[in-house]
Structure 1
């Protein structure tokens, strides 16, 4: 049995991008649960099936009815793929073989009309070493959903292994969430927030860091990982406390100044993924709920860093006050078209997490989660930061058709220099702040 529901605006955008970019893996979310120890494969399969039964988004397909995209929600979906056993090949070759299996799985295109939108593949590397590849289309999952998926999967496996009940709260389903979103669009508060965003983003321009033209279709991704050391960040943290702003606001201000210095544009728009999980029930929801917030900061008037910090704080506070407007609804109201297949005004994305991903726990098994890097760039630049309380782990995903590795090395160097210099010289005009660590000892 199945039922039909209207697709959300986000699902329509992701579906259209999927159809226009054949072979593009930018909407594929790939993770591996790595088990060390005696794994009960039968119980693991049962746990996977139970999670899929709990969440409609994992058993939904999509089709056009006339000009309307609808969700087709099935009672169940077979997401389990044939097991891959690598134990017969030489041990020294198994790690590379496992990586090749994961890469091939991540590159397999999803059929959103036929489904499934999730694949679960068990790879056996040794008697006590296994990986469960969880590959899901972005139309059905976001970063928060991934945590829900892993948490419930390990919880259910542990309960099955201990032969005990595994009570879990009844989850909010995505179709219900989407219906609530549509109902909210008719409220006065929604109309007020929509008008705020329309005023805030009127005549906004995307950040252009590269003069190279953007190619159509999928674009190869490059990655640059780095660490911002605790000692270098301590002055910036102290300044944030003094200014009574969060460290996220301080990092946003640094990014704004960096883009201003590199482009000479005084009007900077940075896209920030917002988890959008503040409403009741959304903490257990699996589905694409994340919304982009377009944070536009004005750097005109030769401001000091302290002034940029204040402006960034006000922009972030306004964004919180006027949340609840779906990104896709805003784009429609603004009449903005995609830029070479990508959402407009999202050339530079800042993703900031206060905590690293939680580590699942299972008695008798060591478990870790590995995230696979996509081979297709989603945006020009995506700067991802995980704040570990002292140091920051950073990773930049970039469009390799627009930037070179050397350019990214320079970008990271400029970022570190500005973070240090802005904290030490907060009242100096940002145009005078050092862009390299050799300038003025920054």
Structure 2
């Protein structure tokens, strides 16, 4: 078997959920249990010099001692990170909005100790300053302020005396009210919890937090810490978790300092070249015209892909030397091409932005958005499109350090209140498993939470799960518009035809410009997908 190139080897690792990070001259990896065999570990050691060279050249970043995040004094004005600044400005322009609230519902069946749960949440808030942070304006500019330590209180609602239909109806009403209740960014904490008791041994936790202090990665940190702390407190033991060496505020200061030197200019040059010229505005089909001002109204729809189809897509990705993300994004681009006629498409994709080992265990808003611009012109085969999407993705990952907010500031795109700048459609694949919540004597299970808000015209979230789940869509203003796009994704795109499309001759029906009517149907990936169609 021929030796894989560096890029091919990195793609091979990503297909197996092996993530690499560079720390000085050390190469670190994070992988699911059992994936990194002794043979693969030996190959990583053997290829370490070329991998380090690849990362350093691609990202134009030398990880030196000066890049280490250090703890700063808390006695001065504390700046926001670039991402926080964007959310704060959006909140100022649209006070009372819920677009960036992150509500969730968790069913807890069993012998739940409410007092211990409350103490555990208080301990997590103590550990993570960001959960006690609020934002105030000083001379017209926002700064972070960290509130003193205080006990976190869970609101309690008892529905045991109601009939079953009445309980479920009241639970739905309470969940809807909680999701619709905005946060005041000037008041801490920016998270809240309500525990609804349905039966003596059955509760539903309504948990809500603002995105400005919490991102997707934070969910894993939060769940892991809650599991450990609750177990310890239940036994009367102190928390076994070590103190955090730095906090989110330290990252915010470090990020701003880092964007003042050569890293900033190297990253910016790449993105200016990639996003040069007129940026396309993707006009999705809708049952009404785009409003003058974006409304963020939305709706969720879900569908599933089968395990068999998932495995076939993984096999195809491995055969073509690309990641599953690349394959799915390429299929999504075909759908967008068919429905808009646009062959120059920019799709935003979120990235964890946690390359520094110091911040892997922090709760906070680290997420960055990468604009993936792909040219679909020339009637390429699906295999050719995979190459284009992979090149786009590798270039974006290699220049992921520039905050999207800073990029928009430098690009100065023509602003239009009717849509988001740079891109209007988002795609996300989450295939890194999150450790399940483990509370002794309690069986937790997640309930679907319909937020009713859409940040973009269309967002597709795909999440690999242990069991078949669903794909959801957040709609374009009306249920009919959202359902129309859901049906479009179900019918007009058959993912099962992708393997054949990848090897089809250029003039066959499987070329990108002439995908068959039934091509790319996602009914059936062991994925939770969120197809998000937004507010018209």
Please give the TM-score of this superposition, normalised by the length of structure 2. 0.76
- Quick one: structure 1 residues 217 and 306, their matched pair in 2 at CA, closer, same or farther if it must change by over 3 Å? closer
Instruction: Tell me what 2:21 maps to.
Output: none
- Aligned residue runs from structure 1 range 100-249, under 5 A: 100-171=173-244, 172-203=246-277, 204-210=279-285, 212-216=289-293, 218-249=295-326
Cα distance in 2, alignment partners of residues 223 and 53 from structure 1: 34
Distance 2:489 2:435 in 1: 27
- The match for 1:85 is 158
Shift of 1:375: 1.5
CA-CA distance at 1:186 after TM superposition:
2.5
Relative distance call for 1:289 and 1:36 in structure 2 (3 A) is same
Q: How many Å separate the matches in 2 of 1:352 and 1:332?
A: 27
1:209: Cα distance to partner?
1.0
In structure 2, the residue matched to 1:407 is: 484
Deviations along 1:341-376, whole A, 9 cap, x unmatched? Answer: 754133111111114543211221112233522112
Relative to structure 1, is the Cα distance of residues 397 and 358 closer, same or farther in structure 2, using a 3 angstrom cutoff? farther
Distance 1:334 1:100, change over 3 A: same
The verdict on how the C-alpha distance between 1:234 and 1:327 changes in structure 2, with shifts beyond 3 A counting, is same
Equivalent in the alignment of 2:145? 72
> How many pairs were matched up?
438
Query: Which of 417, 432, 444 is 1:340 aligned to?
Result: 417
**C-alpha distance in structure 2 between counterparts of 1:163 and 1:106, whole Å:** 34
Please name the residue that 2:357 is paired with: 280
Quote how far apart the aligned CAs of 1:160 are.
0.6
Deviation at 1:219, TM superposition (A): 3.4
The structural deviation recorded for 1:81 is: 4.4
SS at match of 1:83: strand
Question: Which of the residues 308, 319, 327 maps onto 1:250?
Answer: 327
Aligned equivalent of 2:497: 421
CA–CA distance in 1 between the matches of 2:307 and 2:110?
35
Unaligned runs of at least 5 residues, structure 1:
none
Shift of 1:406: 4.1
Secondary structure, aligned partner of 2:474: strand
- Secondary structure at 1:224 match in 2: coil
Moved more, 68-77 or 320-329: 68-77
CA deviation string 1:209-232 (max 9, x = no partner):
136213525332112211122344
Query: Aligned with 1:397: secondary structure?
Result: coil
Task: Give RMSD over aligned pairs.
Answer: 2.4
Bigger CA drift: 285-294 or 329-338? 329-338
Is 2:167 the counterpart of 1:94? yes
- From the superposition, tell whether residues 415 and 194 of structure 1 become closer, same or farther in structure 2 (CA, over 3 Å): farther
Unaligned segments of structure 2, at least 5 residues: 1-73, 522-536
Pair 1:21-2:94 in alignment: yes
Counterpart for residue 38 of structure 2: none
Note closer, same or farther for the CA distance 1:395–1:339 as it changes in structure 2 (3 Å cut).
Answer: farther
Conserved? CA contact 2:474–2:482, under 8 Å: no
How far apart are 1:236 and its partner, in Å? 3.4
